[in-house]
């Protein structure tokens, strides 16, 4: 909870109510569609609700009236996030998301069960992938519907739309850069930094602030000053997330320890290590990085290379610098509301500190 | 061309102009994104532009002013269609679309070439699937952006949005029913009829008419009467398409002969045959249907079973009946424009005749 409103609870309520209405509409087409709605319910449960929180406080920072349906509109960013996660898990063949089976694995299990019961039916893996692609599509469509049926008037929605269009396209573009980075088989700091920005930074913090501020009628000056806070903070957030992907506690991250090392995710952390490792370290690194069958000792060895090459320290310094830049920009930003300033300060810490 | 406007040329112009602007925006994020825009250009080229045509004539039927940007708005339905095709080809593992490699195969070839040139890089198949998922996402986002940046005023857009939301959700729901039908390994007439309706009929004809009519300020009575024309015609259209998938000339369909038989598509045609085949026919049918390696003789044998079980005749009769129902409803519909009546009559023939 930040400030005077329990954002996670309100977002959960908005998402549940919306999905109740979608369930009515979809099961009228076919009772089978309840499976998709249930998958959407599970995929939109939990999580830190960071994007809606930034949207809410962007709105308040612009002097928006909290009696307006800002939390319904903000829920659209959570729905968009879930769409991206579901498709991302298909693309990465990830088995686990937030400690539960990823969407495509869930549908795969459903189909396996159905085939076992009926004695026929084929290809549960293909079914799982197809059903998850459709779930991601539904969530992408619903993100838009949540925003434009939120109850804001047409003028407010028209102001927000350009930012909502931007964030949807940017995150998809960032995903494509990420896919290229993974497929290239080598580390490239420039590409890793662009993935950091578009796959995560703008989409997690800057754009949600913009959508909220635009709904609240914020000036061009305010919106620009929110970029000064949101962009560096978004990068710090993702750098922290990259460190957690390698060093994080599975109980906190909801993913197996060292999962990003097995997946071979070419993050800024990894690009730095590759650029600065000794020849011996690099040979060892290249031998192990991205192997799906890494054991605990090998994970530990890779972690040591990331420490010894000073990649971890470099990322920690970047996080500190970027967070300070964000807070300095926040100090100078013409916010309409002191509670928003306080909440955005708290959120900066929450999004980048070691234990999130 | 129908009536006084060259719809395919205008739609092509709207799509090209929109993609020019998107290319500027995306290549500012990374020059690599030009690959996605080029794939979108190719995927949105050609085709019969049926959906935008119905949208345009729905608008005119409502008395909409042709000076309004209806053809830009109508292009959104073509973009939505391309999104569905790209994701559908991934789900079906289809290699070919409109005589060219499907999007995922195209990206796969691109990655294979890149890896060969650089000497490293991995998994072209996975890259192709991931890149095509993202292309479909971009087209889904762009469909919405095309509509709400088309130039219509906020009131017109607000009227159209509910129909645009409906069509996006319906086609995704229809795809899920289709996926279930394919995975079930058996034919079910009820399920095949629902796939026919939602995966194709509402989305090809009824909803495009509704989006156009709503933009044009059509009454509830007009919109309802357009359903009386659009729904049966949409079903007739898809039944024709199902017949073409089995009996069509590859030069016309852009797909290999009998492709739907190799894919094992469980259409209404197939459900009818399974319900009415003799025991001997059924045994033969089950042995061959859905085998990817069917040769010409086996394709011919399956076609004969579809003929002899009278499934083909039943589909032809359904097409005739549904098209007549549609034209009767059109006669009674309170259209604001005689040219629209003439064009919708011509489109009914074009969408369901044997040579389309």
Q: Report the alpha-carbon distance of residue B269 to residue A237 in Å, rounded.
A: 54
For residue B140, the enclosing domain spans: 1-46+69-151
Q: Do A163 and A214 meet the contact criterion of CB atoms below 8 Å apart?
A: yes
Q: How is residue A97 annotated by DSSP?
A: E
Contact assignment for A32 to B133 by CB distance below 8 Å: no
Residue B114 with chain A: CB contacts under 8 Å: 183-184
Same domain, A202 and A317: yes
Q: Are residues A163 and A145 in the same domain?
A: no
Note whether B205 and B349 are same-domain residues: yes
Task: Sort B310 into a burial class: Cβ within 10 Å, 0-12 / 13-18 / 19+.
Answer: middle
Alpha helices in chain B (DSSP H): 7-29, 34-43, 50-61, 70-92, 103-118, 124-148, 154-184, 189-195, 207-215, 220-247, 250-253, 259-263, 268-276, 279-288, 296-308, 311-332, 338-352
Which among A38, A172, A178, A203 is the top mutation candidate for probing chain B, defined by the most B β-carbons within 10 Å of its own β-carbon?
A172
| Position B53 in a domain | no
Q: Let me know if residue B305 belongs to a domain.
A: yes
Cβ of A127 under 8 Å from any chain B Cβ?
yes
Which CATH number characterizes residue B350's domain? 1.10.600.10
* Contact: B184, A140; criterion CB under 8 Å: no
Question: Is any Cβ of chain A less than 8 angstroms from the Cβ of B176?
Answer: yes
- Same domain for A126 and A269? no
- Asked which of B151, B186, B205 is the last residue of a domain, the reply is B151
Lowest mean pLDDT among A32-36, A313-317, B24-28, B184-188: B184-188
Same domain (yes/no): B165, B240: yes
Q: Do B227 and B306 have their domain in common? A: yes
> pLDDT tens for residues A93-132?
888 888 889 999 999 999 999 988 887 777 899 999 999 9
- Is A118 close to B184, i.e. CB distance below 8 A? yes
Question: Which pLDDT score, from 0 to 100, does residue B256 have?
Answer: 78
Residues B138 and B247 in one domain: no
Q: What is the mean pLDDT of chain A?
A: 93
Name the average pLDDT for chain B.
93
User: Above pLDDT 70, what percent of chain B?
Assistant: 98
Chain B, 256 to 295: residues with Cβ < 8 Å from chain A are none
| Distance (Å, whole) CA A11 – CA A101 | 23
Binary contact (A134, B179; C-beta < 8 A): yes
In a domain, A186, yes or no: yes
Domain boundary, last residue among A107, A131, A151: A151
Crossing angle for the helix pair A34-43 and A7-29, nearest 10 degrees? Answer: 170
pLDDT at A318: 96
Residue A267 inside a domain? The answer is: yes
Predicted confidence (pLDDT) at residue A185 exceeds the cutoff of 70: yes
> Residues A266, A118: one domain?
no
**Average pLDDT of A251-260?**
80
Q: Considering CB atoms only, which of B114, B165, B183 is closest to A127?
A: B183
Size of interface A-B (CB pairs under 8 A): 169
Q: Do A124 and A229 reside in the same domain of the chain?
A: no
What interface predicted TM-score (ipTM) does this complex get? 0.94
Question: In total, how many domains does chain A have?
Answer: 2
How open is the CA angle A119-A121-A126, to the nearest 5 degrees?
A: 145
Do residues A145 and A168 both lie within one domain?
Answer: no
The residue assigned the tokens 């009131």 is B155
Please give the pLDDT value at position B267.
Answer: 93
Could you report the per-residue pLDDT of A206-237, keeping only the tens digit for each? 999 999 999 999 999 999 999 999 999 999 99
Say whether B136 and A138 touch across the interface (CB within 8 A): no
User: B273 with B305: CB under 8 angstroms?
Assistant: yes
**Nearest by Cα to A343 from A48, A12, A53:** A53
What confidence category does residue A356 fall into, taking pLDDT thresholds of 50, 70 and 90?
A: very low
Report pLDDT for A250.
84
- Copy the structure tokens of residue B292: 């990817």
Structure tokens at B99: 């005589």
Nearest to B26 among A154, A173, A185 (CB): A173
Q: Per the CB < 8 Å rule, is A91 touching B121?
A: no
Do residues A223 and A214 lie in contact, with contact meaning Cβ atoms separated by under 8 Å? Answer: yes
The closest alpha carbon to A175, from B34, B23, B138, belongs to B138
Q: Quick one: A145 and A227 in the same domain?
A: no
* Residue closest to A35 by CA, chosen among A122, A125, A107, A126: A107
> Of the residues A88, A120, A151, which one is the last residue of a structural domain?
A151
Q: What pLDDT, in 10s, does the model give residues A67-102? A: 999 999 999 999 999 999 999 999 988 888 888 899
Find out whether A314 and A272 touch, Cβ atoms under 8 Å.
Answer: yes
- For the segment B79-102, the average pLDDT, to the nearest whole number, is 93
In this structure, the answer to whether residues B192 and B249 fall within a common structural domain is yes
């Amino acid at each position: 909870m930040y400030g005077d409103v329990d954002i996670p609870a309100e977002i959960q309520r908005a998402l549940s109510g919306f999905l109740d209405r979608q369930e009515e509409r979809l099961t009228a087409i076919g009772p089978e569609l309840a499976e998709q709605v249930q998958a959407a319910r599970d995929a939109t449960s939990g999580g830190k609700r960071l994007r809606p929180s930034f949207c809410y406080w962007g709105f308040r920072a612009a002097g928006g009236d909290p009696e307006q349906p800002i939390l319904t509109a903000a829920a659209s960013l959570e729905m968009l996030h879930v769409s991206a996660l579901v498709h991302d898990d298909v693309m990465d063949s990830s088995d686990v998301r937030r400690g539960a089976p990823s969407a495509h694995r869930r549908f795969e299990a459903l189909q396996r069960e159905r085939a076992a019961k009926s004695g026929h039916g084929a290809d549960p893996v293909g079914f799982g992938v197809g059903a998850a692609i459709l779930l991601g599509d539904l969530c992408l469509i619903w993100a838009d519907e949540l925003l434009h049926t939120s109850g804001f008037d047409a003028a407010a929605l028209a102001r927000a739309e350009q930012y909502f269009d931007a964030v949807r396209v940017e995150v998809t573009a960032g995903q494509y850069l990420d896919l290229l980075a993974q497929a290239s088989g080598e580390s490239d700091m420039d590409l890793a930094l662009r993935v950091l920005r578009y796959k995560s930074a703008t989409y997690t913090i800057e754009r949600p602030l913009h959508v909220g501020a635009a709904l609240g009628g914020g000036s061009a000056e305010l919106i620009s000053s929110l970029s000064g806070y949101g962009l560096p903070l978004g990068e710090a957030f993702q750098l922290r997330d990259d460190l957690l992907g390698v060093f994080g506690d599975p109980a906190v991250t909801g993913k197996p320890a060292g999962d990003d090392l097995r997946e071979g995710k070419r993050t800024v952390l990894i690009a730095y290590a590759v650029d600065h490792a000794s020849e011996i370290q690099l040979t060892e690194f290249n031998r192990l990085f991205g192997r799906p069958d890494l054991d605990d000792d090998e994970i530990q060895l890779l972690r040591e290379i990331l420490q010894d090459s000073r990649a971890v320290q470099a990322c920690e310094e970047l996080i500190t610098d970027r967070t300070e830049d964000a807070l300095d920009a926040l100090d100078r930003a013409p916010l309409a509301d002191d509670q928003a300033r306080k909440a955005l300060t708290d959120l900066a810490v929450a999004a980048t500190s070691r234990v999130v």
